[in-house]
Structures are given as structure tokens and as C-alpha cells.
Structure 1
Amino acid sequence: MNLITVKNVSKYFLQPTRMQVLNDISFEVEKSKFITITGKSGSGKSTLLYLLSTMDTRFEGSIRINQEEMLGRNNSWLADFRNHHIGFVFQFHYLLPEFTVLRNVMLPALKLRRYPVAEIEHRAMELLQLLGVGEQAHKRASLLSGGQQQRVAIARAMINEPLIIMGDEPTGNLDSYNSAAVFELFRKMSAEKGQTILMVTHDEDIARKSDQTIHLADGKIDEIMVR
């Protein structure tokens, strides 16, 4: 079953002058797959991921996620959709340094209020343990290493059990050891929890190991590689 269907999507930046950054993009993503988006800087890959994240709906064409059309939705509907269905991991972790690791992971679920606080805390601890940073739970986030902080960011992205986890160069600031570890964690989430992973990356090793790679060049799909 296709979880994401992108049809004839084009995107323009209007400032300082009108410039096309995505040109007639079409592809499909099946549920529970690990997808990488690659291309040189300026190829449009981060712009595409931003559209898929629903944080920008100023585009031409159609993006359907979980059978819902994103174009034309109001901001309130989109925010609710993201909270329920999408987890995002950035290149920089964006943890709140004054909060504990545990509290950082709990925050999205506390906002969603789907479960009681005690259950949210239990689920957050389970995720931190799964990701190998359970012993750091009660430390301030600022005291962790870069690799540990990125694992916490992944736990935070997973706390609401999203259908899709999106990552914009989530291993870009990590060394090769931690990059490989983060990839394996994403692969495990895809296999064991049925989550779909979409990751923008420059890492050729990660791209080769993914289920499908969408390679962009000059705002167009240059090649789609299915493994």
C-alpha cells in the first residue's frame, strides 16, 4: 500500500525573484520502507522533504499522505496531522538544554495528550533504553555527547508512534561510528514497528543500504533506485 503519493509537484521561491526549485516531481512510497533522498546541494532535496513534512503547502500538484491530500489544508489541520502522523529529526538535535533528556522526549506526547502522563513517561523511558541512552534519562540534555543527543532526538520523534519519521541530514554532524548506529536504529524502527523512514542524506553508504533512493538534480528526479 502506498503511504505517500506525490504527483506533478512543482515549487517556486518568490523572493528575491521567482525561481523554480522543484519541477514536476512524481513518486510513490510504500508503507514500512526506508527511503533516502539524495542530490547535490541546491538540487531541491531539503525543499522536497519540507513539503512532505506538511510545513509548507505552497506548491503546485498533489501530495497525499495516508490517503489525505495536503494541498489546501489550513494550518490547524496540518499541525494536528503532523502531531499524529509525522516525527521529524533534524541535522541539529534541537533539544531543550535546560530540560532533562526524559522531559525532552516526553514533550510531543504531552502536547498531544493521547495518554496519561505516567504512561508517556513509561513510553519515553522504553524508547531511551531501546536507543541505548536510558541511563542518561535524568541528566540535562546539554550534558550529553553529540551522538547521544541525536539518539534522544530520534526518541522524541518516535514518542507519538508516527507513521512516518523524516530526517533532514540527521547523521550530518555525527562521526562514522555514530552515523552507522543511527542508520541501524532507523532500519530497526522500520522493520520492527512498521514505520516509514524518509531521510535526506549525502551519505552514500546510507543511501545504498536503503530500500529506495530518490536522486534529484536541478529540481527534477534524476533517478529512482529500488533495491
Structure 2
Amino acid sequence: MNLIEVRNINKYFQQPAKMQVLSDVSFDIEKGKLISITGKSGSGKSTLLYLLSTMDTDFEGSIRINQDEMKGKSNPWLADFRNHHIGFVFQFHYLLPEFTVLKNVMLPALKLAKYSREETEHHAIDLLKLLGVEDQAHKRASLLSGGQQQRVAIARALINEPLIIMGDEPTGNLDSYNSAVVFDLFKKLSAEKGQTVLMVTHDEDIAGRSDQTIHLVDGKIDHAN
């Protein structure tokens, strides 16, 4: 079953002069797969991820996620869709340093208020356990190593049980050991939990071990396999 269907996407930047960034991009992504978007700087990969994240709706073509068309939806509808269905992991973890690890993971779920605080805390601890950082739960986030902080960021991305985790260079700030640890966690989440993971990466080793690679050259898909 296709979770994401992208058809004939064209994207233009208008400033300082009109420039086409993505050209006739089409592909499908199945549920429960780990997908890497690759390409040189300026190839359009981050722009594509931004469109898929529903943060930018100024494009030509069609993006369907979970059978819903993103084009033409209102900003409140899209914000609600993101809160319920998309978890984000960035190159920098963006944890709140003065809060504990547990509180950082719980925050998106407390905002959504789908479950009680007690249920949310239980779920957060389960995620920290899954990601191997349960023993750090009551430490301030600022006291963790870079690799630990990124694992906490993944737990936070998972707390609202999203359909998709989207990562923008999620291993970009990590050394080779921690990059491998984080990637293996993504593989585990997709293989064992059926989690769909979509990430931009420069790391050829990571791309080579993904279920699917979408490679962009000058805004066009060079290959998607």
C-alpha cells in the first residue's frame, strides 16, 4: 500500500529571479519503508522534503499522504495533519535544554492532549527504553551526549504515533559511530514497528542500506529504486 504518492511536482523560487527547483518529480512510497532522499547541495532534496512535510504548499502537481491530497488544504487543516501524522527529526536535536529528557519527549503529546498525562508519560518512557536512553529520563537534556540527544529527539518524534518520521540530515551532526546507531534505530523502527521513515542524507552508506533511494540531480529524479 502506498502511503505517499507524488505526481508531477514542479516547484519554483520567485526571488531574486524565477528559478525552477523541482521538475516533474513523481514517485511512490510504501508504508513501513525507510527511504533516503539524496543528491548534491542544490539538487532540491531539502525543498522536496519541505513540500512532503506540508510546510510549503506553493507547488504544481499532487502530493497525497494516506490518501489525502495536500494541495489546496487550509493552513489549520495542514497544521492538524502534521501534529497527528508527521514526526520531525532535524540535523540539530532542538531539545529544550532546561527540561528533562522525559519532559522533552512528552511535550508534543501534552500539546495534542490525545491521552492523559499519566498515559503520555508511560508511553514516553517506553519510547526511551526502545531507543536505549531510558536511564537518562530524569536528566536535563543539556547534560546528554550528542548521540543520546538525537535518540531523545527520535523518541519525541514518535510520541504522537505518526504515520511518517521525516528527517532532515538526522545524522549530519553525529560521528560515524552515532550515525550508525541512529540509522540502525530507524531500520529497527521500520522493520519491527512498521514505521515509515523518510530522510534527506548526504551519507552514501546510509542511503545504500535504505529500502528505497530517491536521488535528485538538478531538481529531477535521477533514479528512485
Q: TM-score range by the shorter chain?
A: over 0.9
| Number of equivalences | 225
Task: State the partner residue of 2:212.
Answer: 212
Distance 1:145 1:50 in 2: 28
TM-score normalized by the length of structure 2? 0.99
Unaligned stretches of 5+ residues in structure 1: none
Taking only aligned residues, the RMSD between alpha carbons, in angstroms, comes to 0.7
Unaligned runs of 5+ in 2: none
Q: Which residue of 2 aligns with 1:155?
A: 155
Shift of 1:17: 1.4
Counterpart residue number, 1:124: 124
Q: Deviations over 1:100-150 (max 9, x none)?
A: 111110011011111000000010011111111111111111111111100
Q: Tell me the equivalent position of 2:221.
A: 221
What pairs up with 1:3-152 in 2 under 5 angstroms?
Answer: 3-152=3-152
Q: Which string of whole-angstrom CA distances, capped at 9 and with x for unpartnered residues, describes residues 39-98 of structure 1?
A: 000000000001000111111100000000001111110011011111010000011111
1:167 equivalenced with 2:172 (yes/no): no
Distance 1:140 1:15 in 2: 42
The 4+ residue runs of structure 1 with deviation greater than 3 A are none
Match of 2:179? 179
**Partners of 1:19 and 1:103 in 2: CA distance:** 43
| Matched letter for residue 39 of structure 1 | G
Deviations 1:141-195 (A, max 9, x none): 1111111100000000000111101100000010111001101100111112111
2:200 and 2:59 map into 1 onto residues whose CA distance is: 19
Distance, in Å, in 2 between the alignment partners of 1:171 and 1:100 is: 22
Which SS does the other structure have where 1:148 is aligned?
helix
Q: Secondary structure at the match of 1:206?
A: helix
| In 2, Cα distance between equivalents of 1:194 and 1:84 | 17
Identity %: 80
1:191, 1:77 → 2: CA distance?
30
Q: Tell me the amino acid that sits aligned with residue 134 of structure 1.
A: E
CA distance in 2, matches of 1:74, 1:98: 35
Separation of aligned partners in 2, 1:177 and 1:147: 9
